[in-house]
């Protein structure tokens, strides 16, 4: 056992124990201290270096816990076998820089997903988050209920009861960070092998989630009232995903009789459920919103999905689902083990936002704003009657244009693109093969556009399509 020639320097900011640690580490890495060689006892090394023994102990502990030393009780410290350790050098290589993918820019983007710039009530939110954090109990920072905060669930239950005709208790509500997460959770409850019947065309994002989760998806065609009950029966699925308040992308509102037909389909066999995605029911421009399917359900068969993505902001990541009482035991057994996905502070802020009337005022403001844009868009489109006819205009934040003169979707989208205008074709929303040559319909989203942009966009489309 040779003496260690460590030179310590009190003036370096590196503490003494770390200088000892680094020296011995280098010696072992370089092989100058071979594996198995005994090191001086901490007492001896401390005496030699004229430092306190605890300083050496600290260095030895560190070296041991990283495997450079092995401590053998009653015998002492020995150099460990670190042949593999040279890979540690790879630490120093910083990760190769990778660029973030940049998004394309358009003259006008008839985006169907976004919300208005003024769509998020940032001042109220800032005020409330200040309040919540200022008055925060320590408990606000402990892990919350996996289902979400009870008081938020009470608030949501009463909102759903009054605004959507949904009848449920807070105990049936699960708050989650977005619909996709809730579909993941639902997939655990329902069983992954369960085929899911979806309207065709449908909301592709939900479709992709179901596919990724391993669910077979059965595409059920739409008639003018929505998902066809006969075709649903035929497809053999026990779970059907529908958007009765405002079908995406077609924009139709499911009439009461069709709702009843779907509910009796569900009631007809055990294990059948309807997933009602009520994603943008807040924005309806004529009269009061149509009550949710869940409210008509007397057989405990509807799983209701709601979100604040449209009514507050897509980036806020707060959604909720209402589970039928039948499914609660499944949730307790297999779902409750997944911790909450929404920050407790954010849940509290949202609760106050709803309880103190901010939400209602916000919704009315947004309804008015979007109705203004909707009506303005409709006026612009009336000038394009030679080019297209409009549908799906009673609710939501987009309309459909059916192209005239046999023009197909692909041409329409391409001509628009050449004019710097981004629109999407209906074919994108079909499950299975649907070619943009066979489709004659495009979608115009207007939630993100002010009147000036709408006017410019429509003029651009008209010019491009009249070429």
Q: Which of residues 151-180 bind a second copy (CB under 8 A)?
A: 157-158, 161, 165, 167-171, 177-180
Minimum distance, C-beta of residue 44 to a second copy, in the bound complex (Å): 21
Sites for a second copy among residues 28-47 (CB under 8 A): none
Residue 163: closest CA among 394, 367, 397: 367
C-beta of residue 42 within 8 angstroms of C-beta of residue 50: no
Q: What is d(CA 328, CA 181) in angstroms, rounded to the nearest whole number?
A: 18
Using the minimum distance from each CB to a second copy, give the nearer residue, 72 or 463: 72
The two tokens of residue 57 are 């102990």
450 touches a second copy by CB under 8 A: no
Query: Which CB sits closer to a second copy, 349 or 419?
Result: 349
Query: At its nearest, how many Å lie between a second copy and the CB of residue 123?
Result: 8
Question: Closest CB to a second copy among 232 and 253?
Answer: 253
Alpha carbons 195 and 278: distance in angstroms, whole number: 21
Q: Is 129 in the site for a second copy (CB under 8 A)?
A: yes
CA distance 108 to 457: 6
User: Residue 51: phi, psi to the nearest 5?
Assistant: -125, 170
Cis check for the bond before 201: say yes or no (omega within 30 of 0).
Answer: yes
Task: Give min distance, CB of 287 to a second copy, in A.
Answer: 3
DSSP tag of 322: E
Q: Which of 298, 357, 405, 467 binds a second copy (CB under 8 A)?
A: 298
Out of 19, 200, 341, 427, name the contact with a second copy by CB under 8 A.
341
Give the closest residue to 267 by CA, choosing from 235, 296, 226: 296
* Selection from 397, 394, 389 nearest residue 442 by Cα: 389
Q: One symbol per residue from 302 to 331: x for binding a second copy (CB under 8 A), - otherwise; what is it? A: -------x---xxxxxx-------------
Binding residues among 180-239 for a second copy as defined by CB under 8 A: 180-181, 184-185, 188, 192, 205, 208-209, 211-214
Among 21, 203, 353, 359, binds a second copy (CB under 8 A): 21
Strands (DSSP E) found in 224-287? 226-227, 239-242, 273-277
Determine if 82 is a binding residue for a second copy (CB under 8 A). yes
User: Would you state the torsion angle of the CA atoms of residues 228, 229, 235, 237, taken in this order, to the nearest 10 degrees?
Assistant: 120
Least separation in angstroms between residue 465's CB and a second copy is 28
């Amino acid at each position: 056992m040779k003496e260690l020639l460590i030179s310590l320097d009190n003036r370096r900011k590196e503490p003494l124990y770390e200088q000892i640690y680094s020296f011995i580490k280098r010696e072992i890495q370089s092989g100058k201290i071979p594996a198995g060689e005994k090191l001086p006892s901490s007492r001896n090394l401390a005496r030699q270096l004229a430092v306190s023994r605890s300083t050496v102990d600290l260095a030895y502990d560190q070296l041991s816990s990283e495997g450079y030393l092995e401590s053998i009780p009653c015998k002492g410290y020995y150099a460990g076998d670190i042949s593999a350790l040279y890979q540690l050098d790879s630490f120093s290589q910083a990760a190769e820089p990778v660029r973030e993918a940049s998004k394309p820019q358009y003259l006008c983007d008839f985006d169907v997903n976004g919300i208005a710039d003024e769509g998020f009530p940032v001042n109220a939110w800032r005020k409330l988050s200040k309040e919540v954090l200022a008055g925060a109990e320590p408990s606000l920072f402990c892990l919350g209920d996996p289902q979400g905060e009870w008081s938020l669930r009470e608030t949501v239950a009463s909102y759903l009861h009054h605004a959507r005709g949904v009848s449920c208790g807070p105990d049936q509500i699960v708050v989650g960070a977005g619909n996709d997460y809730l579909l993941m959770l639902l997939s655990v409850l329902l069983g992954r092998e369960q085929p899911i019947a979806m309207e065709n065309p449908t909301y592709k994002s939900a479709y992709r989630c179901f596919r990724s989760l391993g669910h077979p998806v059965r595409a059920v065609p739409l008639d003018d009232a929505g998902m066809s009950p006969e075709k649903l029966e035929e497809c053999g699925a026990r779970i059907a995903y529908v958007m009765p308040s405002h079908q995406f992308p077609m924009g139709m509102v499911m009439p009461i009789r069709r709702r009843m037909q779907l509910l009796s389909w569900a009631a007809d066999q055990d294990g059948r459920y309807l997933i009602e995605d009520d994603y943008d029911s807040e924005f309806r421009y004529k009269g009061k919103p149509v009550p949710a399917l869940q409210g008509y359900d007397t057989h405990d068969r509807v799983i209701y999905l709601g979100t604040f993505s449209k009514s507050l902001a897509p980036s806020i990541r707060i959604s909720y689902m209402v589970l039928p009482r039948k499914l609660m035991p499944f949730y307790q057994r297999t779902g409750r083990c997944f911790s909450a996905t929404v920050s407790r502070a954010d849940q509290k802020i949202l609760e106050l936002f709803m309880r103190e009337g901010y939400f209602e005022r916000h919704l009315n403001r947004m309804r008015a704003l979007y109705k203004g844009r909707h009506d303005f868009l409709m006026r612009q489109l009336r000038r394009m009657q030679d080019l297209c006819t409009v549908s799906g205009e009673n609710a939501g934040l987009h309309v459909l244009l059916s192209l005239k003169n046999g023009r197909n979707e692909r041409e329409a989208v391409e001509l628009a693109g050449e004019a710097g205008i981004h629109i999407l074709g209906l074919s994108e929303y079909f499950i299975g093969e649907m070619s943009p040559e066979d489709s004659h319909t495009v979608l115009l989203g207007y939630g993100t556009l002010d009147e000036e942009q709408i006017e410019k966009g429509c003029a651009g489309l008209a010019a491009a399509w009249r070429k």
